[in-house]
Structure 1
């Protein structure tokens, strides 16, 4: 029973790390904040709206971008291609 509880604890910690701030690479280059040189970011996404799609109420057709928010200074960086989380 003790092994089971320890396994649950390890799994919960890994899950928390996977969802929290992390380090990233874009095109095999480590992402660094150009403002404060921090390398830990929160990840999000943002819609790349276009006037035509918005006018027709079709925003869901627009592409989205990944964003990284620096955990130290808050600078937001936009990425149109995929990011890879590294540890």
Structure 2
């Protein structure tokens, strides 16, 4: 099971393909984003992103994981939105 920070960092970095912008969106440091992604990659057992000094890209494994995780993340966001809308004031 993905932890919430891992899910958020993975999906955001997958969209941004930039550690600085990901950190800005998450309101954390770039070091924290890097730490979360490294932890996730250790759990998976393989790199999810290719990085160099100029670019970040999803690996084929990272792309597949993104495609599989994204629908579930959208469902979670929708469920939370619906619960908030139905909650008594």
Tell me which of the two structures has the higher relative contact order, counting C-alpha pairs closer than 8 angstroms and 6 or more residues apart: 1
Q: Hey, which of these two has a bigger chunk of strand by percent? A: 1
TM-score exceeds 0.5: no
Q: Hey, which of these two has a bigger chunk of helix by percent? A: 2
TM bin, normalised by shorter chain, reads: under 0.3
TM-score by length of 2: 0.22
Which structure has the larger Rg over C-alpha atoms? 1
